[in-house]
A and B are shown apart, each in its own frame.
Chain A
Amino acid sequence: MCKTAGDAAGGDGHAHNGHQHHHGKGAAHGHGHPEHGATVRIERDVMDRNDRLAEYTRGWLDGRGVLALNLVSSPGSGKTTLLERTVREFGPDRPLCVIEGDQETDFDTRRIRAAGARAVQINTGVGCHLDAAMVRRALADLDPPAGSVVFIENVGNLVCPALFDLGERAKVVICSVAEGDDKPLKYPHMFRAGRVLLLNKMDLLPYVPFQVERFLENARQVNPGLKVFPVSALHGDGLADWYDWLQQQAAPAQPAAA
C-alpha cells in the first residue's frame, strides 16, 4: 500500500508492482516496510505544545496561590501606566510582580521597578507575542511569592497575543479611547479572548471622536460577557473598580469568574 486508499497513483507515482521506484537521495529505509508511501493520520493540534505548557504553568501558579493576568493591547494604550499606578495603589495590599514583554529595550521594566515592584523583562526580538515557554522561564526567574499577583504585560499587538495561552487566569484587554470605537470589530479575536476590558484614557474623551456606547455595543457583539471598566490610568479615575476586581480574583478559593 503505497498511498491512501482511493488515491490511485499520484503525480510522482511509483507503484510497487514491478518495484522500480526510486527514493531520491538516500531515503533511510529498506524494503519490506509495510507502510511505504503511507498516509499517516496524526490529527495533532498545532498549539498543543504551547497549551500543555500553559496548563502546567496554571497548575504551578494555582499551587502557590498566585494570580497571573495577561495584559494585552495595541502599543501605546497605557498598559505600563496602568501597571505603575496599580503597583503604587494596589501593591501595598498584596505583593505584585510584573513580566514585561517587548520586542526591544528594558524601559518598561525600569518604570515598574521605579514604581516599586519586582519585574523581569522578556525581549522577543522579531517576535510579536509572548508564548508559554517564555513566560515559564520568566516565572522561574521571578519566583513570585505565594499569594501574589503577577501581571504579564504582553507585546503591544492586538492580533497575535490572542492566540497564545500563557497559563494566565484571564486576559485583560486594554483599549484607549484614542484608538477608535470600531476596534472590537476590527480585532475581534483579541476582544473575544479577554475576560475584562479597561477602556483607558477616558480623560481624552472630549478631544477624540469616540462614542463609548458604540464601542460597548461593538465589544459585546464580539464578547457578550466582557466586563468593561472605563478608566484613566494617568489620573486614576475609575480604577477603584479595577482594584475591586483584582481583589476578588486574588482572594483565596475564589473561582475564576468575572
Chain B
Amino acid sequence: MHELGITQEVVALVGEHCQGRQVRRVVLEIGKLSAVLPDAVRFCFDLCAEGTPAAGAELEIVVTPGRGRCRACRREVELDRPFGRCECGSTDLEWLAGDELRVRELELA
C-alpha cells in the first residue's frame, strides 16, 4: 500500500506550492502504467490533507492512458497494463506514456 506514502507526498507538494493559501482543488495525473491505484489515493487523500492547506480540497484524478513503441518494428502500441505484445509479435516495448504520477495544478481559494 505505497499509496499512503505517495498521497503524503502529494499533500506535501501541494503545501509547497499553495502560496500559504487554502486549496480548493488538486488535479493529480496518474498514468495507467504507474502502479498507483487512483481509488487508494482517493481513500488516503482526506486523511493526509487534514490540518494542511489541502484540507477539504477536492481531488481530481486524471488517468492517462498507456502507450508504447515497439523496439522491433517501431509501431505504436496501446497499453492498458505494464506489458503487451506488438502486432509483429515482439514484447520489447519502450514506454512513451502512462507512467506519469504528477500534480498538475491547484486551484487556490
B75 sits at the interface (CB 8 A)? no
Asked if B2 contacts A128 (CB within 8 A), the reply is yes
16 residue pairs A–B, Cβ–Cβ below 8 Å: A4-B107, A24-B109, A27-B21, A27-B22, A28-B20, A29-B20, A35-B108, A40-B17, A40-B107, A42-B106, A43-B105, A45-B102, A49-B12, A128-B1, A188-B83, A222-B83
- Tell me how many residues of A have a C-beta within 8 Å of chain B: 40
Asked if A44 contacts B17 (CB within 8 A), the reply is yes
Asked if B104 contacts A43 (CB within 8 A), the reply is yes
Roughly how many angstroms separate A4 CA and B6 CA in the complex, as a whole number? 27
| Cross-interface CB contact of B9 among A27, A42, A43, A47, cutoff 8 Å | A47
Chain A residue nearest in CB terms to B58 = A11
Which residues on A sit within 8 Å (CB–CB) of B13? 42, 44, 46
A127 sits at the interface (CB 8 A)? yes
| Cross-interface CB contact of A222 among B25, B82, B90, B105, cutoff 8 Å | B82
| Given known contacts A38-B108, A160-B2, A221-B85, A46 and B92 CB-to-CB distance under 8 angstroms | no
Report B78 CB to chain A, min CB distance, Å: 16
| Given known contacts A37-B108, A189-B82, A220-B91, A43 and B103 CB-to-CB distance under 8 angstroms | yes
Which residues on A sit within 8 Å (CB–CB) of B22? 23-24, 27
A131 sits at the interface (CB 8 A)? yes
Which residues on A sit within 8 Å (CB–CB) of B21? 27-29
Chain B residue nearest in CB terms to A41 = B105
Report B28 CB to chain A, min CB distance, Å: 8
B35 sits at the interface (CB 8 A)? yes
Task: List A residues at the B interface (Cβ < 8 Å).
Answer: 3-4, 12, 23-24, 27-29, 35, 37-47, 49-50, 127-129, 131, 159-160, 162-164, 185, 188-189, 192, 220-222, 224-225
Asked if B91 contacts A3 (CB within 8 A), the reply is no
Which residues on A sit within 8 Å (CB–CB) of B106? 39-40, 42
Asked if A185 contacts B83 (CB within 8 A), the reply is yes
Asked if B104 contacts A42 (CB within 8 A), the reply is yes
B101 sits at the interface (CB 8 A)? yes
| Given known contacts A42-B17, A44-B13, A37 and B109 CB-to-CB distance under 8 angstroms | yes
Which residues on A sit within 8 Å (CB–CB) of B107? 3-4, 37-40
Asked if A188 contacts B109 (CB within 8 A), the reply is no
Asked if A40 contacts B82 (CB within 8 A), the reply is no
Chain B residue nearest in CB terms to A222 = B83
| Given known contacts A27-B109, A163-B35, A192-B82, A46 and B1 CB-to-CB distance under 8 angstroms | no
| Given known contacts A160-B2, A188-B83, A192-B82, A44 and B35 CB-to-CB distance under 8 angstroms | no
| Cross-interface CB contact of A129 among B2, B9, B24, cutoff 8 Å | B2
Chain B residue nearest in CB terms to A127 = B5
Roughly how many angstroms separate A37 CA and B22 CA in the complex, as a whole number? 10
Roughly how many angstroms separate A221 CA and B90 CA in the complex, as a whole number? 9
